[in-house]
Amino acid sequence: MDEVLTDRFNRKILLSGIQWGHITTTHPEMKKYRKEAAETISEPDLIRQSIYSKNVYIYYRYYPNILQGKYVAVVVRIDEDKFMITAYITDKIKRGEEVWKKD
C-alpha cells in the first residue's frame, strides 16, 4: 500500500508498497517499525546529507525502546520525485553535512 509522508520541511515523500517490501526484505528488522519510519521523516532528531549524493538525505530519530536504544535511519531521495529509498536500525550516525538538528 502506497503512503505519502510529510517530512520536517513539509515536503511530500512517497513510500510505495513495493519499496516497503524491498526495505523489509533487505532489513527484515524494519517489518514492525513502519510507523517509526514515518515518524522519523516527520519528526527527526537529525537530518544529514549523504556524502555520496547531494539529492539523498538521511533522517535519524532515536528510540530508547528499539533494541535497547537505537536510531531509525530513513534514507530519502529529494529531487523531482521525493521517495524513501531505504530504512534501517543503527547505533551510528553516518558522516555527511548536517542539514537540520532538533534543539
User: Quick one: pLDDT at residue 46?
Assistant: 98
**Distant-in-sequence, close-in-space partners of 63: CB < 8 Å, separation ≥ 6:** 36, 69, 70, 71, 72
Say which DSSP state 45 is in: S
The cell numbers describing 64, all together, are 530508547
Q: What is the pTM of this model?
A: 0.96
Contact 57, 99 (CB under 8 A): yes
Which residue is associated with the grid cell 522519523?
A: 40
- Give mean pLDDT in consecutive 10-residue pieces for the chain, a chain of 103 residues: 95 97 97 97 98 97 97 97 97 96 95
User: Quick one: pLDDT at residue 1?
Assistant: 87
User: Quick one: pLDDT at residue 53?
Assistant: 96
* Number of domains the chain contains: 1
Provide the 10 A C-beta neighbour count for residue 14.
15
Q: Tell me how far apart the alpha carbons of residues 98 and 95 are, in angstroms, rounded to a whole number.
A: 9
Domain range for 42 is 3-101
**Distant-in-sequence, close-in-space partners of 35: CB < 8 Å, separation ≥ 6:** none
